[in-house]
């Protein structure tokens, strides 16, 4: 199991009133601590330069989540739900969290997990239809679990209740602690994959492709509902060969149980002016993933692939998946 050792802990004083807050302070008793007023506004961090992006991610911010607003969603889930963390200690060059938090996309942990899970359970039980809640849209919960054990706690507690499902995506293979839990098929885990070349050159600090596939096979054997996200698709040079090989790799390496039940989601990369500014300074030697000939403006400072490229990409993935995974559903291609 991966062990993250933060260089400093920034914490709100009131985390001492929560079980998880006390546990984390004890766990990191030897790490330097800085008390803060509000996890959303740490002046020292705001004033740092983009060059310090990676270094900033070596800290942990711990606070209490104040906003609990569910946002309606119409993909795999019915609601996007703010949960136990936001931000991340890995550093994918396209990370969507950078759009929300800019260079302050470091990991923040929220210790009031009982309050958050209880709201989900109550909403699920009051609904006439079975609802699915996306709890991983602000961070990677498998990675967070290596620090807090929150996912184990969540699955154990949610698994006992009636109604509703939880879902989250991940790029990490650290699933062993989840395999023996009584999840009652109420958890849908979606493994995000990309060609090894992209993982090595763009998704810094995430698990290797082989390890991600081993993890999804183990989750299938443990009877979890599972999906595969091919995301984000990046039209680097030679992308057709890279993604063709990726689909063949999935076909060759997913086990029988996984192949029987996986579904697919495919998402083309979006990018932004902020990403470009941070990446240039934080990763000066990395490959350039912003291709201005293939991308177009999608809103202020945001870019997406031009519709011709997306259309071609869509056909490409539909054809390849039909050939190798004819019985597996594609939820959407966007």
Q: C-beta of 170: minimal distance to ligand SF4 in Å?
A: 8
CA 3 → CA 16, 140, 143, distances in Å?
A: 23, 15, 10
* Shortest Å distance, C-beta 209 to ligand SF4: 14
Whether 197 and 231 have beta carbons less than 8 Å apart is answered as: no
Nearer to ligand SF4, 206 or 217 (CB): 206
**CA dist list (Å): 122 to 74, 115, 133, 163:** 20, 11, 12, 10
Choose between 92 and 151: whose C-beta lies nearer to ligand SF4: 92
Shortest reach from residue 171's CB to ligand SF4, in Å: 4
CB of 278 to ligand SF4, least distance (A): 12
CB nearer ligand SF4, residue 39 or residue 186 = 39
Alpha-carbon distance of 87 to 140, in angstroms, equals 8
Nearer to ligand SF4, 91 or 217 (CB): 91
Nearest to 250 by CA among 202, 194, 203: 194
Query: Residue 97 or 155: which CB sits closer to ligand SF4?
Result: 97
Query: Measuring CA to CA, how many Å separate 101 from each of 34, 45, 118, 156, 289?
Result: 20, 11, 27, 31, 20
Quote the least distance from Cβ 254 to ligand SF4, whole Å. Answer: 21
Instruction: Spell out the residues 6+ positions from residue 239 whose beta carbon is closer than 8 angstroms to its own.
Output: 233
Is the distance from CB of 263 to CB of 331 less than 8 angstroms?
A: yes
Closer to ligand SF4 by Cβ: residue 92 or 131: 92
Q: Which residues contact 321 (CB under 8 A, 6 or more apart)?
A: 247, 264, 328, 330
Q: Please name which of 253, 187, 251 lies closest in space to residue 214, comparing C-alpha atoms.
A: 253
d(CA 222, CA 224): 6
**Considering beta carbons, is residue 131 or 143 the nearer one to ligand SF4?**
143
Residues in Cβ contact with 77 at an 8 Å cutoff, skipping those fewer than 6 apart: 132, 133, 134, 167
Cβ of residue 22: shortest distance to ligand SF4, in angstroms?
27
- Write down the least CB distance from residue 203 to ligand SF4, Å: 6
Nearest to 203 by CA among 170, 242, 167: 170
Q: Which residues bind ligand SF4 (CB under 6 A)?
A: 88, 90-92, 95, 97, 139-140, 171, 203, 206
- Encoded tokens for 111: 């210790």
Residue 138 vs 328, nearer CB to ligand SF4: 138
Would the CA dihedral through 311, 313, 316, 318 be positive or negative?
Answer: negative
The nearest distance, CB 107 to ligand SF4, in angstroms, is 9
């Amino acid at each position: 199991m991966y062990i993250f050792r933060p260089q400093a802990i920034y914490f709100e004083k009131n985390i001492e009133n929560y079980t998880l807050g006390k546990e984390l302070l004890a766990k990191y008793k030897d790490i330097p601590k800085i008390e803060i007023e509000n996890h959303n506004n740490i002046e020292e961090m705001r004033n740092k330069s983009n060059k310090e992006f990676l270094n900033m991610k070596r800290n942990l911010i711990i606070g209490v989540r104040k906003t609990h607003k569910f946002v309606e969603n119409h993909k795999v889930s019915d609601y996007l739900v703010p949960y136990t963390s936001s931000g991340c200690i890995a550093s994918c060059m396209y990370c969507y969290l950078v759009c929300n938090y800019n260079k302050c996309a470091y990991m923040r942990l929220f210790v009031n997990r009982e309050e958050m899970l209880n709201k989900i359970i109550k909403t699920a039980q009051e609904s006439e239809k079975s609802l699915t809640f996306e709890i991983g849209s602000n961070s990677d919960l498998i990675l967070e679990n290596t620090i807090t054990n929150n996912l184990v706690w969540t699955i154990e507690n949610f698994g006992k209740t009636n109604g509703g499902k939880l879902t989250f995506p991940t790029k990490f293979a650290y699933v062993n602690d989840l395999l023996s839990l009584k999840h009652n098929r109420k958890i849908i885990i979606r493994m995000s994959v990309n060609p090894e070349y992209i993982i090595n050159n763009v998704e810094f600090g995430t698990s290797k492709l082989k390890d991600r596939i081993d993890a999804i096979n183990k989750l299938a054997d443990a009877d979890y509902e599972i999906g595969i996200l091919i995301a984000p698709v990046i039209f680097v040079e030679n992308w057709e060969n890279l993604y063709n090989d990726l689909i063949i790799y999935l076909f060759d390496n997913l086990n029988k149980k996984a192949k029987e039940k996986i579904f697919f989601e495919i998402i083309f990369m979006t990018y932004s002016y902020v990403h470009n500014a941070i990446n240039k300074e934080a990763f000066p030697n990395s490959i350039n993933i912003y291709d201005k000939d293939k991308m177009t403006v999608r809103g202020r400072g945001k870019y997406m692939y031009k519709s011709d490229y997306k259309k071609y990409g869509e056909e490409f993935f539909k054809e390849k998946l039909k050939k190798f995974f004819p019985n597996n559903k594609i939820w959407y291609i966007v």
